């Protein structure tokens, strides 16, 4: 008999159950030829004695091997390694197939973006503290609740039979739940065929722009603005016209000037907590933009990614809630209400536009993650999301105020900022005498990550500013981050 006591090593400190450790190691020995087809294994009583385990564990290991087709039970004889092992191994068709197949660059020309690589805000590991550009705190995310709903759906086999082509538009349950949720929270009246669920708001921006723009079209965006949306428009060959953003949002007079000069295909708007400066578009400007959209015949893409986070005043209803005759495409996101690791976004528009959006989305992704979407639908209808947002808003308000106090105390002569009415970041403009690039390098040596201040720069404008994300940091972490920055300066 083979020395199974040395062939099988059990590690009780790891999470993998012991019976699976035994099964895995026996499979390895079969694959390596230590055990061959037709060999008999010791009975479960003997194997348990050799390995000094309970017999039930040996039985479970053999059951696992038998279920996977590695061994078979021979009555009155015991357990035998299968004669015809069903494991398929690829056959070599050319002796030269050894070596790495992808060591050279692509041998034919292919599309190369002429745009600079979109900046990544994810720092390399090794930082003790990270100032992000406005993320929720994953420690608060209602993941237990989502997991409860997710798990309960995994246990319902009929859930898996529901898959149909309609799923490319997002789970019907989620779209139905969104009808009343969106009406209650945003005053937008719509039906399930007016909405598509996407992998985050970013995918909605991409789909909307792809359906609306042709190369050479003109797109109006805020300056400074959300660089990842701008890159989508540029990628599609559109010309970006940058409209200044002041304390009341996009400057309407500048929009009108641009409309008189160019035929505008699309206006991209972030009405609440404009990215990056966090200002909210005033009601007067909302009215004027809607009037201009009608007069100059353009579409408004309203990206309300941050709508759920308001601290001291109520949000304004979106432009999409007004009477605009399908001229406003509304985009929203749950990435901030859940956590940025789970990206669920949505787009609301006229049904004919949504049908084409679904068509386009199917070319990239046949079906979304509808079990996750159903789980989210349950959290929306049972009120869990609303309760979570209330709690998170209370805490984020405290964090926002704490950050502002810390900035006043330790960086008063170095930075300028306006306290945002909502959102997850403070637009922090550093005095030009303190270049963020140098500060970022020094901060990194102290274990603090900040971006280097040029994320929002354009050839015409340089800001030396960053979005100081406060929502993901505890009060102590905020104090610590400001303290390190002050020391670096
Ligand atoms: C203005 C703006 N729009 C869209 C997005 C993308 O949202 P999502 O994470 O849901 O894709 C972001 C991300 O932070 C954003 O800042």
Ligand 1 pocket, 277 CB below 6 A?
no
Contacts with 52 (C-beta within 8 Å, 6 or more apart), sequence order: none
Q: Which of 118, 120, 196, 200 to mutate to test the pocket of ligand 1 (most atoms within 8 A of CB)?
A: 200
Residue pair 238/219 in contact (Cβ under 8 Å)? The answer is yes
pLDDT given for residue 168 in this prediction? 87
Which residue is associated with the tokens 């003790």? 128
- 305 Cα to the center of ligand 1, angstroms: 6
Q: Considering the domain delimited by 143-382, tell me its CATH architecture.
A: 3-Layer(aba) Sandwich (3.40)
- 201 Cα to the center of ligand 1, angstroms: 6
Residues of the chain with CATH 1.10.10.10: 4-81
CATH class of 4-81: mainly alpha
Contacts with 214 (C-beta within 8 Å, 6 or more apart), sequence order: 237, 238, 265
Burial of residue 245, with CB atoms counted within 10 A of its CB: 0-12 exposed, 13-18 middle, 19 or more buried: buried
Q: What does the alpha-carbon distance between residue 454 and residue 461 come to, in Å, rounded to a whole number? A: 10
pLDDT given for residue 118 in this prediction? 62
pLDDT given for residue 86 in this prediction? 63
pLDDT given for residue 238 in this prediction? 97
Q: What residue owns the CA closest to ligand 1's atom 11? A: 200
The fold of 129-135+388-488 is 3.90.1150
Q: Which of 228, 274, 467 to mutate to test the pocket of ligand 1 (most atoms within 8 A of CB)?
A: 228
The sign of the dihedral angle between the CA atoms of 215, 220, 221, 223 is positive
Residues of the chain with CATH 3.40.640.10: 143-382
Ligand 1 pocket, 62 CB below 6 A?
no
State the DSSP string of 315-382.
PPPPGGGS--TT-EEEEEESTTTSBTTB--EEEE--HHHHHHHHHHHHHH-SS--HHHHHHHHHHHHT
pLDDT given for residue 167 in this prediction? 78
Residues of the chain with CATH 3.90.1150.10: 129-135+388-488
Q: What does the alpha-carbon distance between residue 436 and residue 465 come to, in Å, rounded to a whole number? A: 7
- 332 Cα to the center of ligand 1, angstroms: 9
Q: What is the mean pLDDT of each run of 10 residues along the chain (489 residues)?
A: 90 93 94 89 93 94 92 88 75 71 87 72 76 94 92 80 72 95 96 96 97 97 96 95 97 98 97 95 97 97 96 92 95 93 95 97 86 95 95 97 98 95 96 93 92 85 94 97 95
**What residue spans of 68-142 are helical by DSSP H?**
none
Ligand 1 pocket, 347 CB below 6 A?
no
Q: What does the alpha-carbon distance between residue 34 and residue 49 come to, in Å, rounded to a whole number? A: 21
Which residue is associated with the tokens 């505890």? 474
Contacts with 366 (C-beta within 8 Å, 6 or more apart), sequence order: 168
Ligand 1 pocket, 207 CB below 6 A?
no
């Amino acid at each position: 008999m083979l020395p199974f006591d040395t062939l099988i090593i059990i590690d009780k400190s790891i999470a993998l159950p012991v019976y699976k450790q035994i099964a895995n190691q026996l499979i390895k020995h079969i694959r390596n030829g230590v055990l061959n087809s037709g060999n008999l294994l010791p009975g479960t009583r003997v194997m348990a004695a050799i390995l000094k385990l309970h017999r039930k564990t040996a039985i479970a290991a053999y059951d696992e091997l038998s279920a996977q087709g590695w061994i078979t039970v021979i009555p009155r004889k015991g357990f035998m390694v299968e004669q015809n092992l069903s494991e398929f191994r690829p056959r070599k068709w050319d002796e030269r197939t050894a070596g790495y197949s992808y060591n050279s660059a692509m041998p034919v020309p292919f599309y190369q973006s002429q745009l600079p690589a979109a900046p990544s805000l994810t720092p390399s590991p090794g930082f003790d503290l990270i100032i992000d550009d406005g993320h929720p705190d994953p420690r608060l995310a209602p993941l237990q609740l989502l997991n409860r709903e997710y798990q309960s759906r995994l246990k319902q086999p009929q859930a898996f039979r529901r898959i149909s082509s309609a799923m490319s538009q997002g789970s019907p349950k989620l779209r139905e739940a969104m009808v009343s949720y969106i009406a209650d929270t945003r005053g937008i009246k719509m039906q399930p065929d007016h909405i598509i669920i996407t992998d985050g708001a970013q995918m909605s921006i991409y789909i909307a722009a792809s359906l609306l723009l042709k190369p050479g079209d003109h797109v109006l965006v805020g300056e400074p603005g959300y660089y990842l949306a701008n890159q989508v428009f540029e990628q599609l060959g559109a010309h970006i016209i940058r409209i200044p953003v002041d304390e009341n949002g996009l400057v309407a007079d500048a929009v009108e000037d641009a409309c008189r000069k160019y035929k505008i295909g699309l206006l991209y708007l972030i009405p609440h907590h404009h990215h990056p400066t966090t200002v909210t578009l005033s009601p007067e400007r909302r009215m004027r933009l809607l009037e201009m959209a009608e007069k100059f015949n353009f579409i408004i893409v309203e990206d309300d990614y941050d709508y759920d986070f308001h601290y001291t005043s109520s949000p304004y209803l979106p432009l999409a809630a007004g009477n605009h005759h399908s001229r406003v495409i509304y985009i929203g996101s749950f990435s901030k209400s859940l956590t940025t690791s789970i990206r669920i976004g949505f787009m609301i528009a006229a049904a004919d536009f949504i049908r084409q959006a679904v068509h386009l989305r199917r070319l990239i992704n046949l079906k979304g993650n509808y079990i996750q979407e159903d789980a989210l639908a349950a959290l929306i209808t049972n009120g869990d999301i609303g309760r979570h947002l209330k709690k998170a808003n209370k805490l984020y308000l405290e964090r926002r105020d704490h950050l502002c106090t810390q900035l006043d105390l330790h960086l008063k002569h170095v930075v300028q900022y306006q306290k945002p009415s909502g959102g997850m970041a403070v637009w922090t403009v550093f005095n030009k005498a303190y270049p963020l690039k140098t500060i970022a390098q020094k901060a990194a040596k102290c274990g603090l990550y900040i971006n280097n201040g040029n994320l929002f720069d354009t050839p015409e404008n340089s800001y030396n500013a960053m979005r100081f994300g406060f929502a993901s940091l505890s009060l102590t972490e905020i104090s610590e981050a400001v303290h390190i920055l002050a020391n670096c300066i």
